[in-house]
Protein backbone atom coordinates (compact mmCIF):
# COMPACT_ATOMS: atom_id res chain seq x y z
CA UNK A 1 0.00 0.00 0.00
CA UNK A 2 1.61 3.30 -1.04
CA UNK A 3 2.30 5.71 1.81
CA UNK A 4 -0.66 7.94 2.59
CA UNK A 5 0.53 11.41 3.74
CA UNK A 6 -1.39 12.81 6.69
CA UNK A 7 -4.24 15.30 6.19
CA UNK A 8 -3.70 18.44 8.33
CA UNK A 9 -7.36 19.53 8.50
CA UNK A 10 -10.53 17.47 8.19
CA UNK A 11 -14.14 17.39 9.37
CA UNK A 12 -14.84 14.33 11.51
CA UNK A 13 -17.72 13.41 13.83
CA UNK A 14 -19.29 16.84 13.46
CA UNK A 15 -16.20 18.88 14.30
CA UNK A 16 -13.02 20.29 12.78
CA UNK A 17 -10.05 18.00 13.32
CA UNK A 18 -6.75 19.85 12.83
CA UNK A 19 -3.09 19.24 13.47
CA UNK A 20 -1.61 22.09 15.54
CA UNK A 21 1.46 22.61 13.35
CA UNK A 22 3.12 24.88 15.90
CA UNK A 23 3.65 21.77 18.09
CA UNK A 24 5.49 19.81 15.35
CA UNK A 25 7.91 18.12 15.14
CA UNK A 26 7.98 17.35 18.85
CA UNK A 27 4.32 16.48 19.34
CA UNK A 28 1.47 15.51 17.02
CA UNK A 29 -1.37 17.42 18.69
CA UNK A 30 -4.89 17.40 17.27
CA UNK A 31 -7.09 20.41 18.03
CA UNK A 32 -10.76 21.11 17.38
CA UNK A 33 -11.49 24.80 16.72
CA UNK A 34 -15.14 25.29 17.69
CA UNK A 35 -15.70 28.95 16.94
CA UNK A 36 -14.82 31.32 14.12
CA UNK A 37 -12.58 33.16 16.58
CA UNK A 38 -10.66 29.98 17.34
CA UNK A 39 -10.27 29.32 13.62
CA UNK A 40 -9.08 32.90 13.04
CA UNK A 41 -6.52 32.41 15.80
CA UNK A 42 -5.39 29.07 14.34
CA UNK A 43 -4.75 30.68 10.95
CA UNK A 44 -3.04 33.76 12.45
CA UNK A 45 -0.73 31.69 14.65
CA UNK A 46 0.05 29.16 11.86
CA UNK A 47 -1.51 26.25 13.73
CA UNK A 48 -2.87 25.64 10.24
CA UNK A 49 -0.83 27.16 7.41
CA UNK A 50 -0.03 26.82 3.74
CA UNK A 51 -2.15 28.53 1.12
CA UNK A 52 -4.57 25.69 0.26
CA UNK A 53 -4.90 24.57 3.89
CA UNK A 54 -5.64 28.17 4.90
CA UNK A 55 -8.41 28.25 2.29
CA UNK A 56 -9.93 25.05 3.67
CA UNK A 57 -9.64 26.39 7.23
CA UNK A 58 -11.33 29.65 6.27
CA UNK A 59 -14.21 27.82 4.58
CA UNK A 60 -14.74 25.63 7.64
CA UNK A 61 -14.40 28.76 9.78
CA UNK A 62 -17.39 30.19 7.93
CA UNK A 63 -19.42 27.15 8.95
CA UNK A 64 -18.30 27.50 12.58
CA UNK A 65 -19.48 31.12 12.39
CA UNK A 66 -23.00 30.37 11.15
CA UNK A 67 -23.80 26.84 12.33
CA UNK A 68 -25.75 28.20 15.31
CA UNK A 69 -27.15 31.19 13.46
CA UNK A 70 -30.62 32.33 14.52
CA UNK A 71 -31.10 34.35 11.33
CA UNK A 72 -34.80 34.85 10.60
CA UNK A 73 -34.42 34.83 6.84
CA UNK A 74 -31.97 34.40 3.97
CA UNK A 75 -30.96 38.07 3.85
CA UNK A 76 -30.03 38.06 7.54
CA UNK A 77 -28.16 34.79 7.11
CA UNK A 78 -26.16 36.09 4.16
CA UNK A 79 -25.33 39.24 6.10
CA UNK A 80 -23.95 37.12 8.96
CA UNK A 81 -21.96 35.06 6.47
CA UNK A 82 -20.49 38.20 4.89
CA UNK A 83 -19.49 39.54 8.29
CA UNK A 84 -17.78 36.25 9.19
CA UNK A 85 -15.96 36.22 5.85
CA UNK A 86 -14.64 39.74 6.44
CA UNK A 87 -13.41 38.66 9.88
CA UNK A 88 -11.63 35.55 8.57
CA UNK A 89 -10.16 37.59 5.69
CA UNK A 90 -8.39 39.75 8.30
CA UNK A 91 -6.32 36.81 9.59
CA UNK A 92 -3.51 36.74 6.96
CA UNK A 93 -3.23 38.86 3.77
CA UNK A 94 -0.99 37.05 1.29
CA UNK A 95 -2.30 33.58 0.44
CA UNK A 96 -5.04 34.23 -2.11
CA UNK A 97 -6.62 30.80 -1.42
CA UNK A 98 -8.12 32.19 1.79
CA UNK A 99 -10.03 34.90 -0.07
CA UNK A 100 -10.85 32.57 -2.95
CA UNK A 101 -12.43 30.05 -0.54
CA UNK A 102 -14.41 32.68 1.37
CA UNK A 103 -15.76 34.07 -1.90
CA UNK A 104 -16.60 30.61 -3.26
CA UNK A 105 -18.69 29.66 -0.20
CA UNK A 106 -20.58 32.96 -0.27
CA UNK A 107 -21.22 32.55 -4.00
CA UNK A 108 -22.56 29.04 -3.43
CA UNK A 109 -25.05 30.42 -0.89
CA UNK A 110 -26.00 33.29 -3.18
CA UNK A 111 -26.71 30.81 -5.98
CA UNK A 112 -28.83 28.53 -3.77
CA UNK A 113 -32.47 28.17 -4.78
CA UNK A 114 -33.69 27.68 -1.22
CA UNK A 115 -34.39 30.42 1.33
CA UNK A 116 -34.48 27.91 4.19
CA UNK A 117 -31.78 28.92 6.68
CA UNK A 118 -31.13 25.35 7.86
CA UNK A 119 -30.54 24.27 4.27
CA UNK A 120 -28.21 27.23 3.72
CA UNK A 121 -26.20 26.21 6.79
CA UNK A 122 -25.79 22.71 5.39
CA UNK A 123 -24.75 24.22 2.06
CA UNK A 124 -21.91 26.16 3.70
CA UNK A 125 -20.48 22.97 5.22
CA UNK A 126 -20.98 21.05 2.00
CA UNK A 127 -19.07 23.69 0.01
CA UNK A 128 -16.25 23.79 2.57
CA UNK A 129 -15.86 20.00 2.37
CA UNK A 130 -15.97 20.16 -1.43
CA UNK A 131 -13.09 22.64 -1.35
CA UNK A 132 -11.14 20.25 0.83
CA UNK A 133 -11.88 17.19 -1.33
CA UNK A 134 -11.11 19.03 -4.55
CA UNK A 135 -7.80 20.29 -3.14
CA UNK A 136 -6.73 16.72 -2.37
CA UNK A 137 -7.54 15.73 -5.95
CA UNK A 138 -5.68 18.78 -7.29
CA UNK A 139 -2.61 17.89 -5.24
CA UNK A 140 -2.66 14.36 -6.65
CA UNK A 141 -2.84 15.82 -10.16
CA UNK A 142 0.00 18.25 -9.42
CA UNK A 143 2.02 15.26 -8.25
CA UNK A 144 1.39 13.39 -11.47
CA UNK A 145 2.00 16.42 -13.69
CA UNK A 146 5.16 17.42 -11.83
CA UNK A 147 6.67 13.94 -11.85
CA UNK A 148 7.71 14.27 -15.50
CA UNK A 149 9.94 17.20 -14.56
CA UNK A 150 11.68 15.43 -11.66
CA UNK A 151 11.88 11.81 -12.80
CA UNK A 152 15.46 12.16 -14.07
CA UNK A 153 16.69 14.00 -10.96
CA UNK A 154 18.46 12.36 -8.05
CA UNK A 155 17.83 15.16 -5.55
CA UNK A 156 15.82 18.36 -5.29
CA UNK A 157 15.87 21.36 -2.98
CA UNK A 158 12.74 22.84 -1.49
CA UNK A 159 12.01 25.89 0.68
CA UNK A 160 9.51 26.17 3.52
CA UNK A 161 6.72 23.57 3.56
CA UNK A 162 4.51 22.99 0.57
CA UNK A 163 3.77 19.44 1.51
CA UNK A 164 0.79 17.53 2.79
CA UNK A 165 0.74 19.83 5.85
CA UNK A 166 0.09 22.87 3.63
CA UNK A 167 -2.84 21.37 1.73
CA UNK A 168 -5.74 18.95 2.04
CA UNK A 169 -3.24 16.12 1.49
CA UNK A 170 -0.13 15.32 -0.61
CA UNK A 171 1.00 18.95 -0.94
CA UNK A 172 1.97 20.93 -4.00
CA UNK A 173 5.77 21.10 -4.21
CA UNK A 174 6.12 17.75 -2.42
CA UNK A 175 3.32 16.06 -4.37
CA UNK A 176 5.57 15.00 -7.29
CA UNK A 177 8.03 13.61 -4.74
CA UNK A 178 5.32 11.52 -3.09
CA UNK A 179 3.99 10.46 -6.49
CA UNK A 180 7.40 9.30 -7.73
CA UNK A 181 8.13 7.53 -4.42
CA UNK A 182 4.88 5.60 -4.69
CA UNK A 183 6.14 4.36 -8.06
CA UNK A 184 9.55 3.35 -6.84
CA UNK A 185 11.53 6.48 -7.75
CA UNK A 186 12.71 7.87 -4.41
CA UNK A 187 14.21 11.33 -4.71
CA UNK A 188 16.54 12.81 -2.09
CA UNK A 189 15.31 16.11 -0.75
CA UNK A 190 17.35 19.00 0.65
CA UNK A 191 15.03 21.04 2.87
CA UNK A 192 15.85 24.64 3.75
CA UNK A 193 15.08 25.14 7.43
CA UNK A 194 13.30 28.38 6.45
CA UNK A 195 13.76 31.00 9.11
CA UNK A 196 12.25 32.50 11.09
CA UNK A 197 9.41 30.00 11.75
CA UNK A 198 11.33 26.96 10.48
CA UNK A 199 8.58 25.37 8.41
CA UNK A 200 11.25 23.45 6.53
CA UNK A 201 12.96 22.04 9.60
CA UNK A 202 9.81 21.49 11.65
CA UNK A 203 7.36 20.44 8.95
CA UNK A 204 8.96 19.42 5.65
CA UNK A 205 11.69 17.37 7.32
CA UNK A 206 9.08 15.80 9.60
CA UNK A 207 6.59 14.80 6.93
CA UNK A 208 9.22 13.49 4.50
CA UNK A 209 10.92 11.51 7.28
CA UNK A 210 7.53 10.05 8.23
CA UNK A 211 7.13 9.02 4.58
CA UNK A 212 10.56 7.35 4.49
CA UNK A 213 11.88 9.85 1.95
CA UNK A 214 15.58 10.73 2.49
CA UNK A 215 15.61 14.36 3.59
CA UNK A 216 18.67 16.45 4.42
CA UNK A 217 18.02 19.54 6.51
CA UNK A 218 20.14 22.59 5.70
CA UNK A 219 20.16 26.12 6.99
CA UNK A 220 18.93 28.71 4.51
CA UNK A 221 22.46 30.05 3.95
CA UNK A 222 23.68 26.63 2.76
CA UNK A 223 21.53 26.48 -0.38
CA UNK A 224 24.22 28.08 -2.55
CA UNK A 225 26.84 25.53 -1.48
CA UNK A 226 24.46 22.61 -2.05
CA UNK A 227 23.81 23.88 -5.57
CA UNK A 228 27.49 24.66 -6.26
CA UNK A 229 28.42 21.09 -5.30
CA UNK A 230 25.93 19.72 -7.83
CA UNK A 231 23.94 17.94 -5.16
CA UNK A 232 20.53 18.96 -6.54
CA UNK A 233 19.19 18.88 -10.08
CA UNK A 234 16.04 20.94 -9.46
CA UNK A 235 14.37 23.29 -7.02
CA UNK A 236 10.65 22.95 -6.36
CA UNK A 237 8.60 25.25 -4.12
CA UNK A 238 4.98 26.13 -3.41
CA UNK A 239 3.23 29.47 -3.79
CA UNK A 240 0.83 31.69 -1.90
CA UNK A 241 -0.23 33.89 -4.77
CA UNK A 242 0.69 33.91 -8.47
CA UNK A 243 -0.21 36.97 -10.57
CA UNK A 244 -1.32 37.13 -14.19
CA UNK A 245 2.25 37.56 -15.44
CA UNK A 246 3.61 34.60 -13.47
CA UNK A 247 5.23 36.47 -10.58
CA UNK A 248 5.17 34.24 -7.48
CA UNK A 249 4.67 35.18 -3.83
CA UNK A 250 6.03 32.51 -1.54
CA UNK A 251 7.79 32.14 1.80
CA UNK A 252 10.50 34.71 2.47
CA UNK A 253 13.77 33.47 1.03
CA UNK A 254 12.23 31.91 -2.07
CA UNK A 255 13.38 34.81 -4.25
CA UNK A 256 16.97 34.28 -3.17
CA UNK A 257 16.75 30.55 -3.86
CA UNK A 258 15.41 31.33 -7.34
CA UNK A 259 18.36 33.61 -8.10
CA UNK A 260 20.78 30.95 -6.84
CA UNK A 261 19.10 28.33 -9.02
CA UNK A 262 19.44 30.56 -12.09
CA UNK A 263 23.10 31.21 -11.28
CA UNK A 264 23.76 27.47 -11.09
CA UNK A 265 21.70 26.50 -14.15
CA UNK A 266 19.22 24.54 -12.03
CA UNK A 267 15.52 24.55 -13.01
CA UNK A 268 13.27 26.41 -10.53
CA UNK A 269 9.75 24.95 -10.44
CA UNK A 270 6.70 26.32 -8.69
CA UNK A 271 3.83 23.97 -7.85
CA UNK A 272 0.37 25.42 -7.16
CA UNK A 273 -3.31 24.75 -7.80
CA UNK A 274 -5.45 27.11 -9.89
CA UNK A 275 -6.87 28.52 -6.63
CA UNK A 276 -3.47 30.13 -5.95
CA UNK A 277 -3.58 32.29 -9.07
CA UNK A 278 -4.84 35.86 -8.73
CA UNK A 279 -5.49 37.12 -12.25
CA UNK A 280 -6.84 40.40 -10.87
CA UNK A 281 -3.22 41.38 -10.23
CA UNK A 282 -1.04 42.05 -13.25
CA UNK A 283 2.28 41.69 -11.44
CA UNK A 284 3.83 40.65 -8.15
CA UNK A 285 4.48 44.16 -6.83
CA UNK A 286 0.71 44.35 -6.22
CA UNK A 287 0.66 41.35 -3.84
CA UNK A 288 0.08 42.29 -0.17
CA UNK A 289 3.02 40.93 1.83
CA UNK A 290 2.29 39.95 5.41
CA UNK A 291 4.63 41.42 8.02
CA UNK A 292 4.67 39.48 11.25
CA UNK A 293 5.68 39.96 14.88
CA UNK A 294 9.36 41.07 15.11
CA UNK A 295 9.77 38.68 18.02
CA UNK A 296 9.72 35.83 15.49
CA UNK A 297 13.09 37.14 14.29
CA UNK A 298 14.59 38.37 17.57
CA UNK A 299 13.74 35.28 19.60
CA UNK A 300 14.23 31.53 19.32
CA UNK A 301 11.14 30.49 21.21
CA UNK A 302 11.37 32.51 24.42
CA UNK A 303 15.15 33.00 24.17
CA UNK A 304 16.26 36.39 22.81
CA UNK A 305 18.78 36.07 19.99
CA UNK A 306 19.09 39.77 19.26
CA UNK A 307 19.53 42.88 21.42
CA UNK A 308 16.42 44.67 22.62
CA UNK A 309 15.35 47.86 20.92
CA UNK A 310 16.82 47.24 17.46
CA UNK A 311 14.85 47.57 14.25
CA UNK A 312 13.52 44.29 12.86
CA UNK A 313 12.04 43.56 9.43
CA UNK A 314 9.89 40.42 9.30
CA UNK A 315 8.07 39.96 5.98
CA UNK A 316 6.59 36.45 5.80
CA UNK A 317 6.79 36.31 2.00
CA UNK A 318 8.71 37.63 -0.98
CA UNK A 319 7.99 37.81 -4.68
CA UNK A 320 9.98 35.90 -7.28
CA UNK A 321 9.78 37.59 -10.71
CA UNK A 322 8.50 35.25 -13.37
CA UNK A 323 11.77 35.45 -15.29
CA UNK A 324 13.34 33.18 -12.66
CA UNK A 325 10.55 30.57 -12.87
CA UNK A 326 11.28 27.63 -15.21
CA UNK A 327 7.73 26.25 -15.09
CA UNK A 328 4.59 26.32 -12.95
CA UNK A 329 3.09 22.92 -12.20
CA UNK A 330 -0.69 22.95 -11.77
CA UNK A 331 -3.43 20.33 -11.66
CA UNK A 332 -4.39 21.48 -15.17
CA UNK A 333 -0.92 20.92 -16.58
CA UNK A 334 2.51 22.51 -16.71
CA UNK A 335 2.63 26.22 -17.55
CA UNK A 336 5.76 27.51 -19.23
CA UNK A 337 6.73 30.98 -20.48
CA UNK A 338 5.38 33.22 -21.94
CA UNK A 339 3.42 33.19 -18.69
CA UNK A 340 0.91 35.94 -19.34
CA UNK A 341 -0.47 34.19 -22.39
CA UNK A 342 -0.17 30.65 -21.08
CA UNK A 343 -1.66 31.42 -17.65
CA UNK A 344 -4.63 33.11 -19.35
CA UNK A 345 -5.06 30.04 -21.56
CA UNK A 346 -4.81 27.41 -18.81
CA UNK A 347 -6.09 29.16 -15.66
What residues act catalytically?
Answer: 240
The whole-angstrom separation of Cα 105 and Cα 85 is: 9
Judged by beta carbon, residue 251 or residue 322, the one nearer ligand LNRAV4D5 is 251
Other Cβ atoms within 10 Å of 226 Cβ, number: 19
Judged by beta carbon, residue 47 or residue 121, the one nearer ligand LNRAV4D5 is 47
Segment contacting ligand LNRAV4D5 by CB under 6 A, of 45-53, 72-80, 209-217, 256-264: 45-53
Has 51 been labeled as part of a binding site? yes
Minimum CB separation of residue 166 from ligand LNRAV4D5 in Å reads 4
Annotate each residue in 312-331 with x if it binds ligand LNRAV4D5 (CB under 6 A) or - if it does not, as one string. Answer: ----x---------------
Other Cβ atoms within 10 Å of 245 Cβ, number: 17
Judged by beta carbon, residue 172 or residue 320, the one nearer ligand LNRAV4D5 is 172
Question: What is the secondary structure of 182-216 as a DSSP string?
Answer: HTT---EEEEE--TTTTHIIIIIHHHHHHTT--EE
Judged by beta carbon, residue 78 or residue 192, the one nearer ligand LNRAV4D5 is 192
Instruction: Show Cβ contacts of residue 183 under 8 Å, excluding neighbours closer than 6 positions.
Output: 147
Annotate each residue in 279-318 with x if it binds ligand LNRAV4D5 (CB under 6 A) or - if it does not, as one string. Answer: -------------------------------------x--
202-221 as b/e, with b when 16 or more CB fall inside 10 Å? bbbbbbbeebebebbbbebe
DSSP element (H, E) containing 236:
strand 234-237
| Binding-site member from 10, 91, 106, 172 for ligand LNRAV4D5 (CB under 6 A) | 172
Tell me how far apart the terminal alpha carbons of the chain are, to the nearest angstrom.
34
321 near 287, Cβ under 8 Å?
no
Q: What are phi and psi of 131, to 5 degrees?
A: -60, -45
119 near 151, Cβ under 8 Å?
no
Has 301 been labeled as part of a binding site? no
Annotate each residue in 222-241 with x if it binds ligand LNRAV4D5 (CB under 6 A) or - if it does not, as one string. Answer: ---------------xx-x-
Minimum CB separation of residue 147 from ligand LNRAV4D5 in Å reads 17
- Write out the binding residues for ligand LNRAV4D5, residues 188-227 only, by CB under 6 A: 199
9 binds ligand LNRAV4D5 (CB under 6 A): no
Has 262 been labeled as part of a binding site? no
251 binds ligand LNRAV4D5 (CB under 6 A): yes
Alpha carbon distances (Å) from 144 to 165, 174, 176, 332: 18, 11, 6, 11
The whole-angstrom separation of Cα 317 and Cα 239 is: 10
Judged by the rule CB under 6 A, the positions of this chain that interact with ligand LNRAV4D5 are 46, 49-52, 160, 162, 166-167, 172, 199, 237-238, 240, 250-251, 316
Question: Residue ranges for the binding site for substrate?
Answer: 49-51, 92, 199, 250-251
Question: Residue ranges for the binding site?
Answer: 49-51, 92, 199, 250-251
Amino acid sequence: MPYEPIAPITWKDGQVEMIDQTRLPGELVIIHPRTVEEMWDAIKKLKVRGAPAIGIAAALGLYLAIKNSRAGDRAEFEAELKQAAAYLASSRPTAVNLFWALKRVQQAVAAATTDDVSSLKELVLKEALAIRDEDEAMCRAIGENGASLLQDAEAVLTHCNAGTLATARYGTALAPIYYLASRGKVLKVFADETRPLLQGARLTAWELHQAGIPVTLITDNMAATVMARGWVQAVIVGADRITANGDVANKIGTYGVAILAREHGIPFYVAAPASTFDLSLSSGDQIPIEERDPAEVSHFGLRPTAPEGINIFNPAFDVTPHRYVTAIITERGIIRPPYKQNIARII
